[in-house]
Structure 1
Amino acid sequence: MRRTVIAILSVVFIAFSLAVIGLAQDHSAEEVFYRANQAYKQGDFTQAAQAYGQLIEMGYANGHLYYNLGNSFFRSGQEGKAILMYERAYLLMPRDADLLFNMNYVKDQRVDALQEGQGVLASTFFWLNSLNLAEFYRVFVICNLLLFTALILRLFMNPSWMPPLIITAAFVWSAVAGSVAMKWYQVNFDDRAVVLEKEMDVLSGPQEGDTVLFRLHEGTIVYEERTEDQWVLIQLSADKRGWVRAESIEGVRM
């Protein structure tokens, strides 16, 4: 009996401690968010960027925070980091009109006027960029419920319209399941990276003395192929690839 009471008290104490820690963290996050917004309103965009970044590091990452962080970087003259944050925000809220406008505006300011491809998945399955991954999961759950509801109803009734309904539901389920799988792959195997330096040499090999093949500028999006020590092999197009310092770029994948 005594051991049971001690165990119950221990569980209550742990739960209470976790609740207190959670409340303290939420209160701290509110303070950081307020400080970030105030800094942005006062024109201190560097401080605002630091505060928004701190919130993301604390685990409060969402599309709006990445968007605010991108705005702060842009207003502080860091176009590369702004585009990076806008791209991350786009993965979470792909239909946000303000985000799309700002991202396209900043991209238009880049020195390297290059046409960005959407990738094989996004160009072939155009609807993948209409929803984020969490939204695709929710649609998939709804499709599961509808399909299994139709199958259960089939056990108790068999009207003439039931077989076509089940076939249609199964087809929709398959299409959504495939879309979820492709979206998951698109998000988790995103090999895009953004150039963060004002100007960056792309070399023929992973050494400082290697030949300069071409130069890229801040905000340009490249594709990472592989890493070797502190160097990354990037690809810009089918006939343009080379090595850059790892700290010169940052991957879009979160």
Structure 2
Amino acid sequence: MKMQRLKYKYQTIVLGCLFGFMLVQNAFSQGPEQFFEAGNSEYAKNNFEAAIMNYENVLESGYSSAAVYYNLGNANYKLNRIAPSVYNYEKALLLKPNDAEIKNNLQFAQNMTIDAITPLPQNTFKKWYNQILGIFTIDGWATATIVLVFLFTLSFILYFFNKGVGSKRIFFTVALVSIFLALLSLTLTFQAKSNEANREYAIIFSVETELKNEPNNSSEQIVVLHEGTKVRVLEEQDDWRLVRLADGKEGWLPKVEIKIL
């Protein structure tokens, strides 16, 4: 009888441990989709802090998308947090460069910023070129190149084996246009990659900071900047980063006061 009670006791402990392990495993096995849906649910209830926590859990799980950053931007915007809303809209725009809704909400967030910086004017050609370049991401241009090369190959094969004069003319034209567009797309792919490698932008997260002419606190102040302003990072030195504003001004900021996009 004593042995049976002891056996029953051990079985209870083992079952309890297994049950506890299953609960813990279930708690930690929540994937990014569940966090994302939970964030949407909290956002719908106006629980923006809880929504932000869930969206950040999505990012911490190793998954990111324009939708996650966009929703993070919306939740922070609802809480009047300028820098986080601008930052997350900018991150979303990097993943979906031509999304009108993201651009619109980013504009609303930028309207909350204090700094009024007039960008340097662009000539018409450069403006058009940047607009074309922004149609796709790097992966998008690479995919377009592959599709166009495939279309060129198919058109050339059909041209080679087709005997009709009219058909041959059509396939030859398609092949010619395809290879031209493929080369253009390939050029834009490398240009987009080069831009990404050479252009590192950041958002100021400090409520107020001074742009210095040298990387030290005792140097002369160039201008006072505020949270939410976007800067281009040019160089890093110790705890400072050399940045350029949209109007062309350059100076140093403490790197703890900005967040790289």
- Figure out how many residues of one structure are paired with residues of the other and give that number: 230
1:237–1:43 Cα change, 3 Å: closer
**TM-score normalized by the length of structure 1:** 0.79
1:73: how far off? 1.8
1:122: how far off? 6.6
1:91: how far off? 1.7
1:31–1:150 Cα change, 3 Å: closer
Q: 1:206 aligns with which of 215, 237, 245?
A: 215
1:127: how far off? 1.2
**Whole-angstrom CA distance in 1 between matches of 2:227 and 2:145:** 39
1:208: how far off? 1.8
Q: 1:215 aligns with which of 209, 221, 224?
A: 224
Judge conservation of contact 2:204–2:258 (CA < 8 Å) in 1: yes
Match of 1:140 in 2: 145
Q: Match of 1:149, as an amino acid?
A: L
> What SS does the corresponding residue of 1:200 show, helix, strand or coil?
strand
Q: Match of 1:29, as an amino acid?
A: P
Whether 1:114 and 2:123 are equivalent positions in the alignment is no
1:163–1:35 Cα change, 3 Å: closer
Q: Match of 1:130, as an amino acid?
A: I
1:244: how far off? 0.7
C-alpha RMSD over aligned residues: 2.7
Within 5 Å, give how 1:176-215 maps onto structure 2.
176-215=185-224
**Whole-angstrom CA distance in 1 between matches of 2:257 and 2:161:** 64
Q: 1:102 aligns with which of 100, 105, 117?
A: 105
> What SS does the corresponding residue of 1:130 show, helix, strand or coil?
coil
Whether 1:35 and 2:33 are equivalent positions in the alignment is no
For structure 1, which segment, 30-39 or 77-86, has the greater mean C-alpha deviation from structure 2 after superposition? 30-39
**Whole-angstrom CA distance in 2 between matches of 1:206 and 1:171:** 48
1:93–1:25 Cα change, 3 Å: farther
Q: What runs of 5+ residues in structure 1 fail to find an aligned partner?
A: 1-22
Measured against aligned partners, the alpha-carbon deviations of 1:112-136 in whole angstroms (never above 9, x if no partner) come to 1223469899725121222233332
**Whole-angstrom CA distance in 2 between matches of 1:114 and 1:250:** 19
1:34–1:184 Cα change, 3 Å: same
Whether 1:123 and 2:127 are equivalent positions in the alignment is yes
**TM-score normalized by the length of structure 2:** 0.77
Measured against aligned partners, the alpha-carbon deviations of 1:177-213 in whole angstroms (never above 9, x if no partner) come to 1122222233343322111111111112212222222
